[in-house]
Structure 1
Amino acid sequence: MLETSVLLVFVAGLLFCLIAGLPILLAILFGYFVFFAYGLSRGKRAFRLLAVSLTGIRSVKNILITFMLIGMLTAVWRACGAIATIICASTRVMRPDLMVVICFWLCCLISLLTGTSFGSAATMGVICMSISNVMGIPPVYAGGAILSGTFFGDRCSPMSTSAQLICTITDTDIYRNIRRMLQTCVVPFLLTSGLYLVLGLLSGAREAPADVIEIFERNYRLGWIPLIPALITVLFSLLRLNVKVTMLASILAGGAICLWVQGIAPLELFWICLRGFRAADPELAAFSNGGGVLSMLNVGAIVCISSTYSELFEETGLLNNTHALIGRLAVRINPFGAVMVVSILTSAICCNQSLSTVVVKQLCDHVMPDRYELALTLEDTVILLAALIPWSIAGSVPLAASGAPLSSILFACYLYLLPLCSYLSYSRGRGWPASPDAPVRAEGS
């Protein structure tokens, strides 16, 4: 009963912050104190709880480094003229009423190449958002398409860290998992594309005004050279190089172009990387301002605090009594539905995708003993549903990196449709594509 009360208090704190319009960071900080107090009530020493909290923070240092690179990358691409060049070229050939679905397709492609929702949003997401703004497309439409597309590859790319994580914790082969994931994503992908096509037709999009292109041409030296950072990103992704290496190479190339092509002073470039690009021309600022390391501070703080949750849960045993409840839920609906419900609740508490995935696996492996079935279910639930929680970094970071509003989550159609289609398929008895373990069990039965 105490464990349930603690979780309800935390959820109440989250809801209060959302309703009152307070920063989500305050809710996450409130949650830390709630779980810390629970640990003290269980007889844990404060020093020990602080120690495990620091362990959790140290575990996300690589994510924090990635956030810094994303902030610098989005600022440098704006400053070097890469985004301006792509916008000028794209607006001459793209139909505005097709731009929403094109945003989805392009982000699907880049996320499939890079395997990261964060990196895809920081590159192609920024470009798509900038073009959409110029064409007058509602930001929530474009943001929803970007978020959907970035998670297409985050779910099923061989380079995806989430796909690798699930293979590790379920002891499955990644390429077998990917083949089965591609089978289950066809219908949701087509439905999502159709919905974005309709949204684009109803969006009131227009051709980019000639004066917008003139603004870019007046403030940048355009041409093929500013495209080098973007080309590096695509090339390095095709070569399957490390995402951090790819972003760093693109930042260095963009920085060199800022210095020697756009005439930006070294000190000014430093401040651009730190604070983001701030155009002197007010007309240009409306389209190009943004990025920088400081723009990622809020989500970085959320990551640091929420990373302590898993260690506190393990130390205090807060979630130990939930297995029986989940088993009863699986009997009442079905195992997939139970995992889906647990994924939503866990993502709301853990606030990030990786931690949620590990916790859901620990809580639900007894309702899905087939390891390949569990792997596919995790990919179709927690990996996507984590991005629909407004205070989770899974969705908030890609939206912040691309410059889209948080309300874009409402239009991230793919993230709703794939779990829904999978649930309907499972409920109707069709199950998943044949598991590699199935023949082994049949022979031994």
Structure 2
Amino acid sequence: MVKTKRKPTLFEAVSCLIFMGLIIGIGFGIFKIGIQILLVVSAAYAAFIGKRVGLTWEEMERGVSVRLGNVMPAIFILFAVGIVIGSWVYSGTVPMLIYYGLKFINPTYFLVTAFVIVAIVSTATGTAWGSTATAGVALMGIAVQLNIPLGMAAGAVIAGGVFGDKLSPLSDTTNLAPLVCEVNLFAHIKHMLYTTIPAALIGMIVYIIVGLKLYGNEKVDTTAIQSLMAELDSIYNWNIFMCLPFIVIFWGAYYKKPTVPIMLLSSIVAVIVGMLSNGFSFVDGMQSMVNGFNISMVNVAGFDTTAISETVLKLINRGGIFSMTTIAVTIICGYAFAGIVEVAGCLDVILTSFYNKVEKVWQLIGVTIAGSVALVFTAGVASISIIMVGTLLKDAYDKMGLDRRNLSRTLEDAGTMLLPFVPWGVSGIFYLEVLGVGPGSYWMWAVSCYLCIVFAMFFGFTGIAIAKSDKNTTASHAIKPQKEKSLV
């Protein structure tokens, strides 16, 4: 007998989120159990609910497969980032940024400087991951030597990366949100300035105040810094050609080239630079792309690898495509849960229950935020929340006489900006792997990331920066956005 399919009850739908929150909160937060197996257990419970509503195992498998297919471009970028890190250390590009950063960056203004640098790189490239894995890695190395708390440093770096990612026309979420809401890409970016710029300015003010308080009257002990710089000097032969891998990335961003091929091209250039500048072998260059750079690759007469300090080894023994396998496995496990929850109809039921209670503008903004936050913390990626919440609520914005730019902006305020705070999410795990700091340490210092939803709600209550729909101009806002260029 074929079981009749039905929609899950609100209790069944919400129970999937509650179960996942409990299992991860207890297992990961208290007992430090690997997040991957906890996501699999959560997926098993979601499958139980799927079975109750009449889904077959094959249908649940297809739901997972579809979601994994959608996330494959992000996995490609992950592997490309691993290759870039390994090859850029091999070439000396990242160590050079650390070396000269230690010379010129003032500890008092380190946090605000880190935010601005990464924001510029992220805006130009359209990827928070790429900017944090390159400029961010170098800045974290500088923070270690300047005795800047790593949670602070990572918060400023990540906030800058997400800021640029959000406002870049090359970013995937910046293209996806207006695409779902049928809004012009650049109208969407312009409207996001109302929440993003004030949040960023407040964040920078916080960074300046903290820097002045902690380091304003303090003299930095340069002994350890000089020692580290001398060790880097003994490994690399600094020259202007080490900037070429960075230039390739900016060239690709300027001409709107696909992200992954440009990252790989940059890595090839980095290997060539490393061979010619530092005398490293070609084979080691290829190995740096696979397993990361290792101090044993330095083959200079009289060079003693055992004399290199643990601090320098932590800075340069890193990267490679295999360094990203943990993140890739986590993505697969997370999408096993998200795919089943979605195909079972749980997300529709939860969002619809919110939607039915909406009567005022601030309530609609609040529902958009609540739905986005729930899905971001459920799926660990922003794309699902943007698609699901955007599709469900865009008619509500029309009925309330609001321009859909308000929806597309809020989807990013509560999706793109909050994604780094999900410990089991793709970005949370990525930043932990690359920067060595988890969300529990950096969340409070990524100031602009969470202030965006504060401004979104403030505007919802006051009506400030809330665009009204205009039937005469609706068509101008419904131009199809540019094709997305990056996946992170």
| Same-fold call, TM cutoff 0.5 | yes
Residue in 1 that maps onto 2:425:
392
1:183-332 equivalences under 5 Å are: 183-204=194-215, 206=220, 208=222, 209-280=225-296, 281=305, 282-283=308-309, 284-328=312-356, 330-331=358-359
SS in structure 2 at match of 1:240: coil
SS at match of 2:22: helix
- Which residue pairs with 2:12 in the alignment? 2
1:331 to 1:123, Cα distance in 2 relative to 1, 3 A:
same
SS of 1:59's equivalent? helix
TM-aligned CA distance change 1:94 to 1:58, over 3 Å:
same
| DSSP-derived class of the 2:372 partner | helix
Deviates more, 1:71-80 or 1:385-394: 385-394
- Give the match's secondary structure for 1:368: helix
Aligned equivalents of 1:237, 1:355: Cα separation in 2? 26
Decide which moves more: 177-186 or 244-253.
Answer: 177-186
Q: Which residue of 2 is the match for residue 336 of structure 1?
A: 365
In the TM superposition, 1:16-165 aligns within 5 A as 16=26, 17-165=28-176
Distance apart, 1:67 and its partner CA: 0.7
Q: Report if aligned partners of 1:57, 1:304 keep a CA contact under 8 Å in 2.
A: yes
Tell me what 2:482 maps to.
Answer: none
Offset at residue 331 of structure 1 (A)? 4.2
**Unmatched 5+ residue regions in structure 2?**
1-10, 297-304, 475-488
SS for the counterpart of 2:346 is coil
C-alpha distance 87-319 of structure 1, shift in aligned 2 (>3 A): closer
Does the 8 Å contact 1:185/1:418 carry over to 2? yes
Q: Is the CA contact 2:239–2:277 (under 8 Å) kept in the aligned structure 1?
A: no
In 2 relative to 1, CA 153–64 (structure 1 residues): closer, same or farther, beyond 3 Å?
A: same
Cross-structure match for 1:412: 446
Q: How far off is 1:328 after superposition?
A: 5.0
What residue in structure 2 maps to residue 176 of structure 1?
187
Structure 1 distance, partners of 2:239, 2:286, is: 24
SS at 1:21 equivalent: coil
Contact 2:382–2:419 at 8 Å: present in 1 too? yes
Instruction: Say which is worse superposed, 35-44 or 106-115, in terms of deviation.
Output: 35-44
The question of whether the paired residues in 2 share the 8 Å contact of 1:155 and 1:162 is answered with: yes
Question: Alpha carbons of 1:86 and 1:401: their partners in 2 closer, same or farther (altered >3 Å)?
Answer: same
Q: Do residues 424 (structure 1) and 458 (structure 2) align?
A: yes
Amino acid at match of 2:375: T
Query: In 2, distance between residues paired with 1:385 and 1:85?
Result: 32
Query: Structure 1 pair 368/302, CA: closer, same or farther in 2 (3 Å)?
Result: farther
2:389 is matched by which residue type in structure 1? Answer: V
> Does the residue aligned with 1:18 lie in a helix, a strand or coil?
coil
Please state whether the residue corresponding to 1:158 is helix, strand or coil: coil
CA shift, 1:440, in A, is: 5.2
> Which secondary structure does the structure 2 equivalent of 1:271 belong to?
helix
1:14 and 2:24 are equivalent in the alignment = yes
CA pair 285-202 structure 1, distance change in 2 beyond 3 A: farther
- 1:8 Cα deviation after fit: 1.7
Query: Which is worse superposed, 357-366 or 17-26?
Result: 357-366
Distance 1:228 1:440 in 2: 45
Q: Displacement, 1:436?
A: 6.1
Shift of 1:365: 3.4
Greater fraction of residues in helix? 1
Match of 2:389 among 341, 356, 360: 360
Paired with 2:135 and 2:461, the residues of 1 have a C-alpha distance of 36
Post-superposition Cα deviations, 1:287-344, rounded to whole Å, max 9, x if no partner, equal 3232222221121112223234454234322233224421355448621122212222
| In structure 2, C-alpha distance between the alignment counterparts of 1:321 and 1:144, rounded to whole Å | 35
Q: Deviations over 1:29-78 (max 9, x none)?
A: 22221222222222222233223322322222211111111001111111
1:326 alignment partner AA: F
Distance 1:286 1:395, change over 3 A: closer
**Percent pairwise identity:** 20
* Cα RMSD after superposing both structures: 2.3
2:479 matched residue in structure 1: none
Equivalent position to 1:372, from 402, 405, 411: 405
Shift of 1:259: 2.6
Q: Partners in 2 of 1:338 and 1:410 — Cα distance?
A: 24
- Structure 1: where are the runs of 5+ without partners? none
Change (3 A) 1:338 1:150: same
Contact 1:147 1:409 in 2 (8 A): no
Q: What is the CA-CA distance between 1:100 and the residue it aligns to?
A: 1.0
Shift of 1:95: 1.3
CA apart distance, 1:366: 4.8
Query: Which of these residues, 380, 393, 410, is aligned with residue 351 of structure 1?
Result: 380
Normalising by the residue count of structure 1, what TM-score does the alignment of the two structures yield? 0.92
- In the alignment, the residues of structure 2 paired with residue 366 and residue 308 of structure 1 have an alpha-carbon distance, to the nearest angstrom, of 30
Q: CA deviation at 1:164?
A: 0.6
Deviation at 1:158, TM superposition (A): 1.0
Instruction: Identify if the C-alpha distance between structure 1 residues 424 and 234 changes in structure 2 by more than 3 Å, giving closer, same or farther.
Output: same
CA contact under 8 A between 1:100 and 1:145: conserved in structure 2?
yes
TM-score of the two chains, using structure 2 as the length reference: 0.84
Distance in 2, Cα, partners of 1:438 & 1:388: 38
Tell me which amino acid in the other structure corresponds to 2:426. I
Query: Does structure 2 conserve the Cα–Cα contact (< 8 Å) formed by 1:277 and 1:289?
Result: yes
**1:84-118, Cα deviation, whole Å (9 max, x unpaired):** 22222222222121111100001111111111111
Partners of 1:129 and 1:194 lie apart in 2 by 20
* Cα pair distance change 1:437/1:311, threshold 3 Å: farther
Encode CA deviations 1:255-279: one digit per residue, 9 max, x unaligned: 1122332232333333322222232
